[in-house]
Structure formats: C-alpha cells, structure tokens
Amino acid sequence: MQATCWADRLELVGDDERLVGFAGALPVRLLAERSGLRAALSAAMRRRGFDPVYDRGQLLIDLAIAQILGAEAIGDFQGLRHLAPVIGPVPSTATVWRALAEVGPVQLGRITAAVTAFRRWWWGLLAARDEGFPWLTVAGQQLTGVTVVDLDASVVLAASEKENAVPTYKGGIGFCPNLACCDNTDDVLALDARPGNATANCAADNIALLDCAVARLPGRYRRRLLVRLDGAGFSHELLEHIAAGGGTRGRCWEFSVGWACTEVELDAIEQLPAQAWTPAIDQAGEVVDNAFVAELTGLLDLSAWQQKIPGLRILVRSEPLHPRYRKRASEREQRLGRRFQLIATDTRRGQIAWLDARHRAHAHVEDGVKQAKDLGLARWPSRFWAINVAWTQIVALAANLLACFRHLALPSGGLREAAPKLLRYRIFHLPGRLTRGQRKRWCHLRADWPGTEEVIGSWAAVKALPAPP
C-alpha cells in the first residue's frame, strides 16, 4: 500500500494578481519618499527637454532597494515586479541601463548633494531622540562628540573582460574600490571606484576619499574626527593631512593607524623593560588573557615625523602567535612565539590599553565592506567603466538608506545590527496579499511570520517621521 504524500492532490497555479512579493521592502521605499530623498534624486537627474516615462529619481531609489533585496545584476531589478500591485508598473531592464548611462560627473555631483542632505536629515533625527546620537563606547568610555571614520580598500574580482579590470595587488583581475565608513551609524560615507592596479596605500587616493567622506558629513560632525585604518593604507602624507585637520582651522582630528613592524621596531621592543607592559583589554574593558600593550615612542627615532606630526606616538601589542599568522611572522616572532602589532596615533590622553582597544574596533569596517559587497559591490554589471561607477554609487546610496532604516524604523537589538542576509529572510522577503476595503488598500501579512511585527512596526515608524524642512 502506497504511503500518503504531502504533495498528493496538490496543484500549483499562477492566477492570483493580489499577491505581493517583497512586501517587507515597502517601508524602505516609503522612507525614501517621506525623507525627500526621492524628490532630490529626481531633481538631480532632471534634464532640460527630457521628460522620461519613468521618473529617474524613483528608478535610482528602486535600484537601491533591489540591491538591498539581493540584486547582483541590473536584470535582477525586474524582481520588483512582485511589488507592482502596490507600487505600479516597473521599468524594463533596458530603461535601467539607459538611466545608469545618463549618470555622468554632473549627475554624480548632484546625487552626492541629495544623499548628503538626506544624511543631514536623518542624523538630525538621531540626535533629537532621547538616547541621542550613537556615540561610540570603548571599554565603558563614550567618545562623545567624536565622529569615527574608518578607511579601507577591498578587491573585487571580475569574471569577464571589463574596462579597468586589471591585475590587483592581491592577485587576480578586477577592481580595487576604496571605502570610508562611519562606525557611529554603520553608514558608507564614500565609495571610490578604482581600477584593479590601485594600491591600498596610495596617499592621494586616501586623502581624496577622506575629504569626500568629510564633505558628506553634516557640518557639526566634521569638527572632531577619529580616522582609523590598517597598516596597508599607511602613508605619512595621509597622517599629516589628518593631523592638520584636512587643512581647515578649528578642526580637531586624530588618527589611529597600523604601523609596520620592522627590525628597527623589533629591536626597540626587546629593549622594553618588563614593567612597561600593561595587560590588554577588550571592547568591554575586560582583561585579555596573555595579551599586553606598551608604548614604544621613546625607543624610536621619530624626530623627522614629529616635526610635521606633533604628538606622534607608537604603541605595541604583544599576543600569542596564532597559527594562521605564523607563515607571515618574522623569525624573531616565530622564535618568541609572540605576534607584535604596532599602532601610530596622535591622541595624547588615555591609557595605553584603552587606545589599543579603540584602534582594534577598526575591525568593524570589515562589516561595512562585507555589507557593501552584499549590496552589489561584489559584482560590477557592465563592460563600461562609467556605468560601473554609477552602480557603485547606488551601492553607497543603498547602504545609506539601509542604515537610516535600521536606526529610525527598527527597534534596538538583534535586527538593527543584523546582516542584510538575515534582514532579507526576516523582513524584506515577506510576501503579502493585497485587498481593498473601507476606501483603503490592505496588504495582509502572514500572522506567524517571524518578522511580521517588525515590518508593521517599521511601516508605522516611517509614517510617523517628520518631513524635512
């Protein structure tokens, strides 16, 4: 006797036009509308004598939403047709290509201005909340008034022949974009699309990236800045630029960067007395087992550096040599079984262990890079450089829109800090059914879906946001 299967007497039929896919993305789309971002982008893309069928500002917003939903190619934009019963007709893939081709240097400047105004609006709302702006806390000490900007370069490999896809410094063929992220808000401030042969420590590129990122900050958040980057992006020109406040008087900028550990530094480390070492601490202020920090400044000849960078200090961290690092370790490190990491900073106050913990929080930038790649940075869609540059700026727009949604529409906790993959499963990919009644449209969501409450709550939170002045 054949066992009864769950699929018995089950037939699939596609005949219901009331169903809505990706209903969880509707609050994000509404956020772009209520904040004035969509209108600003429409003005940025406006051309005299050209009246497109599909508003170009809305198209850019929808492309950013498609990236948030997981789009990896321009053709994936058509996934938004699942939202057509709610948002109306969706432009074709060819129209999206044409819109990206229209984004030149002038349009990019206008888009940047629109996104900067959007950031000014939602950062102002953050500061007006009872809990205030999200200043960072390291080992129980809050960095009140300090905007933390992390710089990092990454490699994006190209699977086919594309303009400016060349061998990279890490191997393979592709591109080497530069990113500036704000650790306070988990926001991508600037994204510089660069050819694959660009290096991580190019001073001109890093200075230009930092200046671009600062220009996109609201004015009150530019005065006190902490700039962090790893040793791969180190250059004395960049440190001088930061120490000088970007050449603007009245600014108080500090840096915390990786410093190369050469034989000179290893000689100095061996001269450190035992009492110079202090136990290292983690982000919570707890002592880290078998890890120590010390100041190396007085044992190094830094006179040439300190002429242009007053207050330059070099710190060293000693920790057990991890097997993963053993191949790159020096002979001395292998002999001692210890790994030494150096930090250069011009911060004059604070315990050494706390300064070390503050710098190690730079690892958060990896989350920003990973998120940007998850939003479309990992796949550049076109053979043409100009279109790929436009695509990367939409990635930055998507990251900004998502950061705003996290802080203003989601409750504090796990979902606010969740990766895009989890947000898609819990919120954005939630389906619905559209009905009409009482002179309204109703989008019905599954009652027992794990993210239904958050979607409804975020919709109400966005609708309650004040319009920009």
pLDDT tens digits for 152-201? 999 999 988 899 999 998 889 999 999 999 999 999 999 999 999 998 88
Q: How confident is the model at residue 7 (pLDDT cuts 50, 70, 90)?
A: confident
Report whether 179 contacts 152 (CB < 8 A). Answer: yes
CA distance 174 to 151: 20
Helix (H) or strand (E) holding 330: none
Mean pLDDT of 19-31: 93
pLDDT tens digits for 208-247? 999 999 999 999 999 999 999 998 788 889 999 999 999 8
Report whether 319 contacts 339 (CB < 8 A). Answer: yes
Tokens of 336: 């001692």
As separate numbers, helices (DSSP H) first and strands (DSSP E) second, the chain gives 16, 17
pLDDT tens digits for 427-453? 999 999 999 888 889 999 999 888 899
pLDDT at 365: 93
Judged on CB neighbours under 10 Å (0-12, 13-18, 19+), 72 is middle
**Phi, psi for residue 114 in degrees, rounded to 5:** -65, -45
DSSP letters of 235-254?
-HHHHHHHHTGGG-TT-EEE
Q: Is the pLDDT of residue 391 over 70?
A: yes
**CA-based nearest residue to 201, from 152, 159, 269, 265:** 152
- Residue showing tokens 């109306």: 88
pLDDT at 2: 59
pLDDT at 6: 86
- Residue showing tokens 């180190």: 234
Mean pLDDT of 372-389: 95
Q: Is the pLDDT of residue 3 over 80?
A: no
Q: Strand pairing partners for 179? A: 152, 191
Tokens of 91: 């432009």
Count CB-CB contacts under 10 A for residue 73. 14
- Torsion-angle region of 253 (φ positive above 0: left; ψ -120 to 50: alpha; else: beta): beta
Work out the percent of the chain whose per-residue pLDDT is above 70: 99
Mean pLDDT of 68-97: 93
pLDDT at 234: 81
pLDDT at 1: 46
Work out the percent of the chain whose per-residue pLDDT is above 90: 75
Q: pTM for the whole thing?
A: 0.92
Chain length of the chain = 469
